[in-house]
């Protein structure tokens, strides 16, 4: 059953328990967010999605990605306090990821200038430790990534620091990374990511890479399509289909 | 040549029969309105590809078009786009259920907010019509433009119609 929440005094419909950030975005409100992804649980890591709760027992500024919609909830998405807190959080993220284009663009837009120096060793360059890659990798069933270490020493990478057994080289971690800090290298021969190299399964028509062998094996085992579905590349499948349709038409 | 194994998912309402003036056309998609593809009328101008890439926010880059014109012999062309399969391979392999049927248009639509960019759907589509964009790192496919397909609107030969 649908409920109503109020965003900047505007009434918006939602499902109970939906992420307030998701509801707000759907209604066209522009709330900055880096570590949020619809496919996985939110953990409120980047702290840019701050909004102010104006109803209920616990009013105040809070992250919206992991806030659940409840009937009658009232929030505002903009105020001097919200802006101040978002700016502070951005400044801290910039210490981790001074070179990240996304962060620099936000900083330029919000007039944020970092007052502190980045620590000498920040781990993977431009990683903000939001663990979105870790969460997505787990949701896909590969469980190849983890946050290792605590405090200043915290890093994201293959669990136990060794090439992870579960990694199939799909590259979803890179796809969702908000600062695009994960390095993946494709050569005609193989794909390299997280210190591992993956051979490609090749198109049986033209020899171009289709998918990594390991990703293909995982998909066949877990997702239930016949093996030969992964044997031909996108352009070759298209021309095969066109010839098939042509033979029907003429 | 056969495009896919016999076990391939069946398109929603393809009548792989004759197309053109007298014959029943190839029908793709919806219950209410369908994108009707008529290769016999196609003149190979690729306006549909251009319209598609513009309609989807690209700067007119033909490489992003979700419909393709393929040569099929002397002065013959076949336009291919997503068949909006009933039992679609792309939706089946998607590990995060990012591909869902739009109830209104009956198109299978990729949610860019939900897609995690693993690339599996591109590898799995038997017709080569799921595209993984290497820049945005998200899956892209024909969404029937939400109910007003640009390819059909711009086709000068009436080889594509939405009716
Ligand atoms: S999006 Fe909410 S904390 Fe990052």
How far is the centre of ligand 1, averaged over its atoms, from the C-alpha of A72 (Å)? 22
Residues of chain A with CATH 3.10.20.740: 1-123
What local confidence, expressed as pLDDT, does residue B77 receive? 96
The reply to whether ligand 1 has any atom less than 6 angstroms from the CB of A24 is no
Provide the pLDDT confidence category of residue B18 given band limits of 50, 70 and 90.
very low
Provide the pLDDT confidence category of residue B20 given band limits of 50, 70 and 90.
very low
Q: Which domains, from first to last, does chain B contain?
A: 24-162 (3.30.70.20)
Host H or E run for residue A194: none
Cβ neighbours of residue A191 closer than 8 Å, sequence gap 6 or more: A169, A171, A184, A185, A197, A198, A200, A209, A212
To test the pocket of ligand 1, the residue of A37, A46, A93 to mutate (highest count of ligand atoms within 8 Å of its CB) is A46
B69, two tokens: 């014109």
What local confidence, expressed as pLDDT, does residue A119 receive? 73
Interface confidence, given as ipTM, is 0.92
CA distance A186 to chain B (A): 12
What local confidence, expressed as pLDDT, does residue A114 receive? 83
pLDDT digits (tens, 9 = 90+) for A35-54: 999 999 999 999 999 999 99
Tell me what the pLDDT averaged over chain B comes to.
83
The reply to whether ligand 1 has any atom less than 6 angstroms from the CB of A33 is yes
Tell me what the pLDDT averaged over chain A comes to.
93
Q: Say whether A238 and B129 touch across the interface (CB within 8 A).
A: yes
What local confidence, expressed as pLDDT, does residue B14 receive? 38
CA distance A57 to chain B (A): 31
Q: Does A136 touch chain B (CB under 8 A)?
A: yes
What local confidence, expressed as pLDDT, does residue A176 receive? 98
How far is the centre of ligand 1, averaged over its atoms, from the C-alpha of B84 (Å)? 35
Cα–Cα dist B77/B75, whole Å:
7
Residue B10 scores a pLDDT above 80? no
Long-range contact list for A50-58, CB < 8 A, 24+ apart? A50/A82, A50/A85, A50/A86, A50/A89, A51/A20, A51/A24, A51/A75, A51/A76, A51/A77, A51/A82, A52/A76, A52/A79, A52/A81, A52/A82, A55/A6
Q: Say whether B117 and A39 touch across the interface (CB within 8 A).
A: no
Q: What is the mean pLDDT of residues A5-26?
A: 96
Q: Could you give the C-alpha distances from B125 to A46, A153, B3, B34, B140, in angstroms and in order?
A: 36, 43, 11, 21, 12
To test the pocket of ligand 1, the residue of A22, A37, A51, A63 to mutate (highest count of ligand atoms within 8 Å of its CB) is A63
To test the pocket of ligand 1, the residue of A19, A38, A48, A132 to mutate (highest count of ligand atoms within 8 Å of its CB) is A48
**In this complex, how many residue pairs, one in chain A and one in chain B, have their CB atoms less than 8 Å apart?**
148
A55-69, A124-138, B4-18, range with the lowest pLDDT: B4-18
Beta strand B26-29 with A74-76 is unpaired
What CATH number does the domain located at A1-123 have?
Answer: 3.10.20.740
Q: What is the mean pLDDT of residues A204-221?
A: 96
Question: What does the DSSP assignment read for chain B?
Answer: --SS-TTPPPPTT---S--SSSSPPEEEE-SSSEEEE-GGG--S--HHHHHHHHHTTSSS-GGG-SEEEEE-STT-EEEEE----TT-HHHHH-TT--EEE-TTT--EEE-TTT-----HHHHH-TTS--EEETTTTEEE---GGGTS-HHHHH-TTS-EEE-
CA distance B147 to chain A (A): 20
Provide the pLDDT confidence category of residue B31 given band limits of 50, 70 and 90.
low
Question: What does the DSSP assignment read for A90-134?
Answer: HHHHHHH-TT-HHHHHHHHHHT----SPPPS--SSTT-----HHH
Q: Which atom of ligand 1 is nearest to the CA of A36?
A: 1
pLDDT digits (tens, 9 = 90+) for B133-151: 999 999 999 999 999 999 9
Residue A227 scores a pLDDT above 70? yes
What local confidence, expressed as pLDDT, does residue A169 receive? 97
Q: Does A38 touch chain B (CB under 8 A)?
A: yes
Cα–Cα dist A153/A149, whole Å:
5
What local confidence, expressed as pLDDT, does residue B24 receive? 43
Residue B23 scores a pLDDT above 50? no
Q: Could you give the C-alpha distances from A177 to A118, A156, A237, B116, in angstroms and in order?
A: 21, 12, 30, 10
pLDDT digits (tens, 9 = 90+) for A165-210: 999 999 999 999 999 999 999 999 899 999 999 999 999 999 999 9
Residue B22 scores a pLDDT above 50? no
What local confidence, expressed as pLDDT, does residue B60 receive? 66
What local confidence, expressed as pLDDT, does residue A148 receive? 87
pLDDT digits (tens, 9 = 90+) for A126-163: 999 999 999 999 999 999 999 988 887 888 999 777 88
Q: Which atom of ligand 1 is nearest to the CA of A44?
A: 3
What pTM does this model have? 0.88
What local confidence, expressed as pLDDT, does residue A187 receive? 94
For residue A186, list chain B residues with Cβ-Cβ distance below 8 A: none
Provide the pLDDT confidence category of residue B21 given band limits of 50, 70 and 90.
very low
pLDDT digits (tens, 9 = 90+) for B37-89: 999 999 999 999 999 999 987 676 777 899 999 999 899 999 999 999 999 99
Tell me phi and psi for residue A28, to 5 degrees. Answer: 95, 10
What local confidence, expressed as pLDDT, does residue B27 receive? 54
């Amino acid at each position: 059953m649908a409920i109503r929440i109020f965003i900047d005094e505007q009434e918006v419909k939602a499902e109970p328990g939906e992420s307030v950030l998701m509801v707000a975005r759907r209604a066209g409100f522009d709330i900055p967010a880096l570590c949020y992804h619809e496919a996985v649980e939110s953990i409120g890591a980047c702290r840019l999605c701050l909004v102010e709760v104006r109803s209920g027992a616990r009013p105040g500024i809070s992250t919206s990605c992991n806030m659940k919609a409840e009937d009658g909830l009232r929030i505002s998405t903009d105020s001097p306090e919200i802006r101040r807190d978002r700016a502070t959080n951005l400044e801290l993220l910039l210490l981790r990821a001074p070179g990240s284009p996304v962060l620099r663009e936000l900083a330029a837009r919000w007039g944020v200038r970092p007052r502190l120096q980045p620590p000498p060793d920040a781990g993977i360059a431009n990683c903000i430790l939001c663990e979105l890659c870790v969460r997505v990798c787990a949701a896909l069933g590969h469980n190849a990534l983890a946050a290792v270490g605590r405090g200043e020493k915290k890093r994201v990478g293959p669990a136990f620091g060794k090439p992870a057994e579960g990694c199939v080289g799909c590259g979803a971690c890179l796809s969702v990374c908000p600062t695009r800090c994960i390095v993946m290298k494709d050569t005609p021969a193989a794909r390299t990511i997280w210190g591992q190299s993956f051979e490609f399964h090749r198109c049986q028509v033209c020899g171009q890479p289709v998918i990594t062998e390991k990703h293909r094996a995982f998909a066949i085992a877990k997702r239930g399509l016949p093996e030969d579905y992964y044997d031909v590349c996108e352009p070759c499948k298209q021309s095969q289909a066109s010839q098939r349709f042509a033979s029907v038409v003429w | 040549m056969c495009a896919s194994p016999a076990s391939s998912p069946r398109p929603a309402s393809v009548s792989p029969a004759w197309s053109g003036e007298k014959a029943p056309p190839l029908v793709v998609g919806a219950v209410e309105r369908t994108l009707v593809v008529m290769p016999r009328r196609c003149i190979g101008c690729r306006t549909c590809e251009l319209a598609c890439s513009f309609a989807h926010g690209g700067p007119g880059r033909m490489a992003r078009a979700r419909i393709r014109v393929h040569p099929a012999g002397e002065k013959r062309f076949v336009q291919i786009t997503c068949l909006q399969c009933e039992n679609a391979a792309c939706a089946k392999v998607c590990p995060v259920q990012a591909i869902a049927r739009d109830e209104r248009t009956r198109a299978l639509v990729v949610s860019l907010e939900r897609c995690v960019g693993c690339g599996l759907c591109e590898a799995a589509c038997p017709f080569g019509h799921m595209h993984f964009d290497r820049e945005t790192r998200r899956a892209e496919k024909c969404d029937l433009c939400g109910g007003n397909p640009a390819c059909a609107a711009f086709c000068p030969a009436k080889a594509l119609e939405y009716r």
